Amino acid sequence: MAAHVRWGLQRLLRARNTAHFRFPVKTRSSYHSQCSTQISRRVQPRLGTGTTLFSIRHLSIQTQDTPNPRSLKFLPGKPVLGSGTLDFPTPSTAGSSSLARDLFEIEGVKSVFFGPDFITVTKTDEDVEWTGIKRHALEAIANFFESGDPITIGAVHNESSISEDDDDIVSMIKELLDTRIRPTVQEDGGDVIFKGFEDGTVKLKLVGSCTGCPSSTVTLKNGIQNMMQFYIPEVDNVEQVEDEVDEINAKVFSDLERKLQE
């Protein structure tokens, strides 16, 4: 039955392709720097363009703005996880990835997020300049991919994947997330993870650049909720949730930040 429902939803989504879905966020991201294939390391301003050319070994890395001014997306031009996502909200969660640990060593980095083909770095505060963080992050990413080490020894999040145990409504919610919503969110350096459906409310966890983003509430309500309600009448509300461990990590980080400022 679930397979039949998914097939019907896919037909509906294809039929609606003329009404393209877009989240109500600021101007879409634009590429603003790139690493060339030169071996020497140098920084060259491109006159009149506002673009900086970074040369680091043989790896071409692009950086992309996100709707969150505190998050920057790095695209190494090769698979990162390949599929799925992995969130490192604090340094203590980075034990499974040497690259995440190296990025947390950079002053001003608050959180790290891995996507299928990108890495999102979030800084602690808008007042912290990107210049130093970006330079060190580019070097850390280049060093990592040159090393050949595994990106992670931990589990990758594929929580929206449809299961045979899902009922028809949950199957449709996950299908909509995977085909129309997650790809758009990942374009902006984040992800949305399905955490449950109860009494008409879809529970989602926003990660990556979506965490702490000024437009995340608008994205959740005016974007995701509207689309869910349009395709699935049983959905009354969409609610953002956090895992218990995330709440604990956030409190610990906040306490540490406060002590350092005293």
Tell me, yes or no, if the pTM score tops 0.75: no
Average of per-residue pLDDT across 17-22: 40
Position 21 confidence tier, pLDDT thresholds 50, 70, 90: very low
- Residue 183's pLDDT is 85
- Decide if 55 contacts 117 (C-beta within 8 A): no
- Residue 207's pLDDT is 85
* Domains parsed from the chain with CATH numbers: 2-22+161-246 (3.30.300.130), 31-147 (3.30.1370.70)
Look at the chain and count its residues.
262
Name the strand (E) or helix (H) holding 119.
strand 119-123
pLDDT, tens digit, for every residue of 237-261?
988 887 644 444 444 445 555 555 5
- Decide if 66 contacts 155 (C-beta within 8 A): no
- Decide if 94 contacts 88 (C-beta within 8 A): yes
Q: Packing angle between helix 168-176 and helix 2-15, nearest 10 degrees?
A: 40
Q: Which residues pair with 246 in a beta bridge?
A: none
State both tokens at 246. Answer: 């995330």
